[in-house]
Structure 1
Amino acid sequence: MYLAGDIGGTKTILALFDQATGPHHPVFEQTFASARYPDLETMIAEFREQHPVPIEGAAFGVAGPVVSGRASITNLSWTIDAARLSTVLNGAPVRLLNDLEAIAQSVPILEPADLETLTAGQAIAGGAIGVIAPGTGLGEAFLTWDGVRYRPHPSEGGHTTFAPRNQVEKDLLDYLHQRYNHVSYERVCSGIGIPNLYAFVRDRLLQRETPAVAEQLAAASDPTPVIVQAGMATEQMCLVCRTTLELFVDILAAEAGNLALKVLATGGVYIGGGLPPRMLPLIKRERFLQVFRDKGRFSELLSQVPIHVILEPKAGLLGAAAAAMS
């Protein structure tokens, strides 16, 4: 049996996997409210009281950078140490992965039902693979072939400087420079970035707001779900919200194309995170491919790159399980 976890600031999922059934089929799975526990060791101890089986290995995807087997969790006071967790698990090897690295780890074992293919392209065997995932923040990772299997590599590409493509995006950059010294892609292509786009569309483009949506936003602790729901509504759609999401999708397409060039992703680009499946009708438009490929002399190269949206909501847990088994 192998233990895998998807560790977040709000919730943590722990699950046991059997080598025989593989990472797609957890034997036991449980979700915990992270803030109720002083550390991961206490949570694991409670989980193992209910499932007291020997553990051969463990891996955890964590929402934060991993350095020398240690990680601090964003929005949580935990420090996770792989060596300490190994002691708790009676010496079983433990691996910590950045959350995007965990999603990347899942890519080679995703099944057709886990994906929405935007374009099949012409994947090159052993070619690098790019992974971009707008969730609360914007994560980016990539995989390279070592001659036997794909190996994931984390990055902090979501914090690179936002590069506008047209006059509207230039105006957006000017608008956000009034708030931030550095405008990264995460500021405009993530859950925390969507309210920035909404404010820009409201203040600079349409100069109006839907009263009912404005009332909901004023009462919401997190405005992003309100904006996404109102922008994707088929009835009584909010024009400011819809324009916000269309701008978001354009920026996502452009940065996915940037990532494809940076890592020469001839094996494909995979779009993960919680937001893209909720905007799938916009992402499936031909415009997404046009913006993705709009790279001048390299447009033809990008026209051959396969692009997939990851629909599996627990890809990070699946990837952690695959890492534990390997």
Structure 2
Amino acid sequence: MSSMHTDNPQTANAWPRLVADIGGTNARFALETAPQQIEQAEVLPCNDYDTVVDAIREYLKRVGNPKIAHAGIAIANPILGDWVQMTNHHWAFSIETTRQALGFETLVFLNDFTAQALAITCTAEKDLVQIGGTEPKENAPKAVIGPGTGLGVSGLIPSNAGWVALAGEGGHVSFPPFDDAEVLIWQYAKQKFGHVSAERFLSGAGLSLIYEALAAKEGVTPATLTPAQISESALGGSSPLCRLTLDIFCAMLGTVASNLALTLGASGGVYLCGGIIPRFIDYFKQSPFRSRFENKGRFDAYLAAIPVYVVLSEFPGLTGAAVALENHLQNHAPSRFADGMSADFGKTAQDKTE
């Protein structure tokens, strides 16, 4: 996470605040009118605007140009300092220059999946669907993973300052095949790409890659299907190959999610975000995911106790951006410095390394 701000105690609690979630295709903007009250959300196509400043100004114009002092923006990009060069879009900008151009007092940018992890801390129970396990342990690490356009990976670690969101690139770890079928799929991907990451399979494009590899294995010409069409054909019973594709996809997700749970000691639960799983939630409950998640030899019982939740929140990126912005404002409030508390109180792990 990276942030730019000026100290003005008179506007520390100014509302509304601007929150946003920017991807490579679309940017979603909204106003936070009170703590976690997200209103007037709109989606703007990124290609319609030359710069991020243009897009923000257009959104603010649409909602009546309210006075904004503080803004928090999640973006599908690593945040390593002041300069942001989007990897899947042409926007490139300085955070400080953007803040000045818009006249904001505070502008916080963070990785979009770190924002999704932060959103878990205030997700309502109605927006969580439990897939196996028992009750989560209090004050224990939580694992967060989400297949979508890519594979997002994060974690929430408890501390005296609240939950610390881990910012990393865990979707790009090497994929571990579990059985002979997955070895063959892995070999197919390796021939195409060299290194085979978890994201190669656990994403929308990954679903298509698994289908393609299985078709090659069976010696048949694969139909030209989108990931959504593969899922529809699998659930509708019209294609055994599509059903096998979906089964293997869910089993692979079980492997990678359980590896993350073991790495973090995530007895506080595993949270599945992203746009793919909610599309077939009823199937997913009975899919190979949970049995594969628990299949870890001597640690079967350990994993069997860990609950897994599918997150159904409507705007997790916006919610997480709002949490990050509030944390930043609290940490930089003048009263905290007067009390001699550290300026990095409650920051994410990535903040503290910058």
The answer, yes or no, to whether TM exceeds 0.5 is: yes
**What does the per-residue CA deviation read over 1:72-112, in whole Å, with 9 as the maximum and x for residues that have no partner?**
22321112432123213424211111111010010010001
Q: CA deviation at 1:247?
A: 0.6
**What does the per-residue CA deviation read over 1:116-163, in whole Å, with 9 as the maximum and x for residues that have no partner?**
111352322211111110001111011111214212112111111111
- The letter of the residue matching 1:257 is S
Confirm or deny that 1:104 pairs with 2:105.
no
Q: Secondary structure at the match of 1:61?
A: strand
Match among 132, 139, 162 for residue 149 of structure 1: 162
Match among 48, 71, 95 for residue 82 of structure 1: 95
Conservation of the 8 A alpha-carbon contact between 2:71 and 2:108:
yes
Conservation of the 8 A alpha-carbon contact between 2:133 and 2:304:
no
Match of 2:312 in 1: 311
Match of 2:132 in 1: 119
Match of 1:266 in 2: 267
Confirm or deny that 1:136 pairs with 2:149.
yes
Matches within 5 A, 1:157-236: 157-204=170-217, 206-208=218-220, 214=223, 217=225, 223-233=226-236, 236=237
Q: Which deviates the most, 119-128 or 98-107?
A: 119-128
Match among 31, 34, 47 for residue 43 of structure 2: 31
Query: TM-score when scaled to structure 2?
Result: 0.83
Match of 1:67 in 2: 80
Q: CA deviation at 1:115?
A: 1.2
- The letter of the residue matching 1:238 is S
Conservation of the 8 A alpha-carbon contact between 1:136 and 1:190:
yes
Partners of 1:287 and 1:180 lie apart in 2 by 27
Conservation of the 8 A alpha-carbon contact between 1:134 and 1:190:
yes
Partners of 1:170 and 1:314 lie apart in 2 by 37
Q: Secondary structure at the match of 1:178?
A: helix
Confirm or deny that 1:12 pairs with 2:27.
yes
Partners of 1:81 and 1:115 lie apart in 2 by 37
Match of 1:47 in 2: 59
Q: CA deviation at 1:287?
A: 3.4
**What does the per-residue CA deviation read over 1:45-80, in whole Å, with 9 as the maximum and x for residues that have no partner?**
122223322223211111111111433223211124
The percentage of aligned residue pairs carrying the same residue is 30
Match of 2:3 in 1: none
Q: Secondary structure at the match of 1:60?
A: strand
Closer/same/farther in 2, CA of residues 209 and 121 from structure 1, 3 Å limit: farther
Q: CA deviation at 1:259?
A: 0.6
Conservation of the 8 A alpha-carbon contact between 2:142 and 2:268:
yes
Partners of 2:234 and 2:296 lie apart in 1 by 28
Q: Secondary structure at the match of 2:43?
A: strand
Match of 1:254 in 2: 255
Q: CA deviation at 1:304?
A: 1.8
Q: CA deviation at 1:192?
A: 1.5
Closer/same/farther in 2, CA of residues 239 and 264 from structure 1, 3 Å limit: same
- The letter of the residue matching 1:8 is G
Match of 2:322 in 1: 321
- The letter of the residue matching 1:44 is I
**What does the per-residue CA deviation read over 1:210-240, in whole Å, with 9 as the maximum and x for residues that have no partner?**
8xxx2x53xxxxx22221222222xx52211
- The letter of the residue matching 2:38 is P
Gaps of 5+ in 2: 1-15, 328-354
Query: TM-score when scaled to structure 1?
Result: 0.90
Partners of 1:81 and 1:322 lie apart in 2 by 22
Match of 2:17 in 1: 2
Partners of 1:244 and 1:324 lie apart in 2 by 40
Match of 1:293 in 2: 294
Q: CA deviation at 1:209?
A: 6.0
Q: Give every structure 1 segment of 4 or more consecutive aligned residues whose post-TM-superposition deviation is greater than 6 Å.
A: none
Conservation of the 8 A alpha-carbon contact between 2:247 and 2:288:
no
Conservation of the 8 A alpha-carbon contact between 2:68 and 2:104:
no
Partners of 2:69 and 2:267 lie apart in 1 by 35
Q: Secondary structure at the match of 1:165?
A: coil
Conservation of the 8 A alpha-carbon contact between 1:121 and 1:307:
no
Conservation of the 8 A alpha-carbon contact between 2:250 and 2:288:
no
Closer/same/farther in 2, CA of residues 240 and 37 from structure 1, 3 Å limit: same
Q: CA deviation at 1:282?
A: 3.1
Partners of 1:286 and 1:249 lie apart in 2 by 7
